[in-house]
Structure 1
Amino acid sequence: MPRGDKSKYTEKQQRKAEHIEESYEEKGVPEDEAEARAWATVNKQSGGGERKGGSGRQKSQTEKRADRKDSAHRAAKAREGDSPNRGSARNNSGSSSLTELSKDELMEKARERNITGRSKMRRDELIKALS
């Protein structure tokens, strides 16, 4: 069972976690794993339980929406068998555009340019930093 007191979560967050957990269990995921995944999803989407007094970082509605959209896109690609980090065979000459490169190739370019924070960047962030 996931650690932590769930009393800080709103009723809506708790219902969402229950729904997600049931969905995972229907797919054959063990009960404790389903619960852990459900709470992880709720935490990512809402920034955790409701906090008073300004403790913790609050996500804006825009950030939450972007996280949900990003998560949905990655899940859809995974279902299609397309990994976001897997690229097709490419010409490795310097003439290819950044959007055609894999994350590993972008990481190598960022390493060559000594871009700080590159190890924690997503693919789109690497493209922006290299542009």
Structure 2
Amino acid sequence: MYLIVLIGLCRRSLAELMFLSAPFAMLQGKRVLALEFETYEVMALKEMKKIAEQAFEKWPLQKILIDHRTGRLHVGEIAVIIAVAAAHRDAAFQACRYIIDTLKQTVPIWKKETFEDGEVWVAAHA
């Protein structure tokens, strides 16, 4: 399943930036087999929309897309996509960093890391 928030107008953008995040092959010196994401969907979507709105208040942006997958993902599959369009690249870079950092701090998404020797749940905002 995908949690997707898209906000903005279609205008000509000179800077379009996309951030992609996929599970690491190794974590804490262990081989990762898969990650599993769970969420409280209504609250997560509300918080993601709030993050996008805050980014629009901070920078002169034209469009934002935030996509976070849920369910089981294997190494190399995309877990998070953040796309930002702006007239200037500096605003797009700053907004993109703000969005991923804030998403990791505030959106209620829990992650289970599965290794060859077991698995562990990582609390939201860890």
Q: How high is the TM-score relative to the length of structure 2? A: 0.31
Structure showing the higher helix proportion among its residues = 1
Tell which structure's C-alpha radius of gyration is larger.
1
Structure showing the higher strand proportion among its residues = 2
